[in-house]
A = this chain, B = another copy of it.
Amino acid sequence: MTHIIFDLLHILDEAGIDQPVAGNVISERLGISRTAVWKYVNLLREVGYVIDASAKTGYTLRKRTWLLLPYEVKRYLKTKVIGQEMHHFEQVPSTNALARQMMHEVGDEVQPGTVLIAEQQTGGLGRMNRVWMSPEGGIWATIVVMPKLHVDQIFLITMAASISLARAIRHEFELSALIQWPNDVFIGDKKVAGTTLELAADEDIIKYCLVGIGVDVNVSVEKVMPNLSRLVTSLSDELGHDVDRAQLFSVFLKEFERRYQMMLKGESEPLFREWRSLSRTLHRRVRVRTIRESFEGEALDVDERGALIIHKDNGEIERVIAGDCYLI
């Protein structure tokens, strides 16, 4: 998809849904032939736009695409940095792998806040390299940020992303999304979204972070991943209907930008406060599984590195930096 196609779409958009624009008007405004207009209209149809054509009245936009095209996200987008540059792909192994490759090849040129979006991932990974199902209908994206921060502040980015996911879901759909430590978003007892974080650093200063985002939006869990239906839900399953991914994603990007800026300014305390208020983990009995051990206790708080503080049943206090945590 290139600029001329988006310019064409913009012309149809200006007229509005169900309002025809004459072919020769489009042709003149874009400075291309009417055959070229016809061709581009067909390419728009191929990516899901419903456009009627009539020799008399011209082209009429009837329905928008279901794809999460940058053009669609940008219609709603109110950020200054995050998502100003977006790249969209139909199917990739994973947007994080793609972002890593992009940084490797042309990293010095990549604009901070660049977002890569895929309709489908064939090799998506969650935290700890676990397989992450990424079917059509979800939001699978990676945000590239370059905060000049010490690596030990990295957890703030995960926090900002998780909070923003939960906030965007709450804001758009009035669903009670909560955050499960460290990085998952739940509705009720089921996971609906998650984040990952990859990091490149010079010594202990961050060069760039790849913030991976996965949200089961318009996904029928029963159909696509039936064996996970006790553990996973989707927004469409919760609401009983599909929703506008572009709008949700743009709201998320705005929420993320706001918290990311706070973090850059060192305003971490409000972030912790917000994280705590959205936590599904704190003040609950949990079972923790780390690489070394497994134990139960009460989740008390997170510390400034993002570690979960557990009051173990044997009376000890333990900091968990990496591991899984289940409510019991």
Write the residues of chain A forming the contact surface with B, with a CB cutoff of 8 angstroms. Answer: 2, 4, 23, 33-35, 37-39, 42, 46, 53-55, 85, 87, 89-91, 98, 101-102, 104-106, 109-111, 114
Q: Which residue of B lies closest to A90 (CB)?
A: B46
A46-B89, A109-B33 are contacts. A38–B102 as well, Cβ < 8 Å? yes
Contact at B105–A53, with CB atoms within 8 Å? yes
Which residues from chain B contact A105 at a C-beta distance below 8 Å?
23, 34, 38, 53-55
Question: Main secondary structure on chain A at its contact with chain B?
Answer: helix
Which residues from chain B contact A104 at a C-beta distance below 8 Å?
55
Which residues from chain B contact A91 at a C-beta distance below 8 Å?
46
Q: Which of B37, B42, B102 contacts A89 (CB 8 A)?
A: B42
Minimum CB–CB distance for A68 against chain B, Å: 15
A89-B42, A89-B46 are contacts. A106–B2 as well, Cβ < 8 Å? no
Which residues from chain B contact A101 at a C-beta distance below 8 Å?
53
Q: Which of A4, A38, A89, A111 is most buried by chain B, counting CB atoms within 10 A of its CB?
A: A38
Q: Which of B2, B34, B53, B106 contacts A35 (CB 8 A)?
A: B106
Distance, CA A39 to CA B53, complexed state (A):
32
Contact at B109–A34, with CB atoms within 8 Å? yes
Contact at A35–B90, with CB atoms within 8 Å? no
Q: Which of B34, B54, B87, B90 contacts A106 (CB 8 A)?
A: B34
Minimum CB–CB distance for A25 against chain B, Å: 13
Contact at B106–A38, with CB atoms within 8 Å? yes
Which residues from chain B contact A4 at a C-beta distance below 8 Å?
2
Contact at A106–B46, with CB atoms within 8 Å? no
Which residues from chain B contact A111 at a C-beta distance below 8 Å?
35
Distance, CA A87 to CA B46, complexed state (A):
13
Distance, CA A85 to CA B33, complexed state (A):
13
Contact at B42–A109, with CB atoms within 8 Å? no
What are 18 A-B residue pairs whose CB atoms fall within 8 Å in the complex? A2-B2, A33-B109, A34-B106, A34-B109, A35-B102, A35-B106, A35-B109, A35-B110, A35-B111, A35-B114, A38-B102, A38-B105, A39-B87, A42-B87, A42-B98, A46-B90, A46-B91, A55-B104
